[in-house]
């Protein structure tokens, strides 16, 4: 099973390291959006757009689970992703 891990930069690598240590039986795909880092000064709408693009990519790579390891993306976009994006695009 593939698990995707997304962050706006490299900070999520510490999350990935722990996942690999605790759950070594899975395959991992890490996506760090270094081109648009940092997300902190962006509008919630823009963070949502960047995050959904990342999730689309990870799901297209056959990830069964995606972890948003980005604090800004989680704070600004997670609820909308859970309620709107996932049910419509990746049920």
CATH code that applies to domain 30-91? 3.40.50.1860
Res 91: pLDDT: 80
Strands in 2-7's sheet, in edge-to-edge order, are: 27-32, 2-7, 63-68
Res 90: pLDDT: 86
Res 33: pLDDT: 96
**Per residue in 39-50, pLDDT tens?**
999 999 999 999
Spell out, as residue ranges, where the chain has pLDDT lower than 70. Answer: none
CB-based contact 24:3 (threshold 8 Å):
no
Which two three-digit tokens encode residue 12? Answer: 């999520």
Res 7: pLDDT: 98
């Amino acid at each position: 099973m593939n698990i995707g891990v997304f962050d706006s930069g490299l900070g999520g690598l510490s999350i990935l390291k722990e996942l690999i240590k605790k759950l070594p039986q899975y395959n991992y795909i890490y996506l760090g959006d270094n081109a648009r880092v940092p997300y902190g000064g962006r509008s919630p709408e823009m963070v949502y757009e960047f995050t959904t693009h990342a999730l689309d990519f990870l799901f297209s790579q056959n990830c069964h689970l995606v972890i948003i390891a980005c604090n800004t993306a989680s704070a600004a976009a997670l609820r909308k992703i859970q309620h709107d994006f996932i049910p419509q695009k990746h049920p």
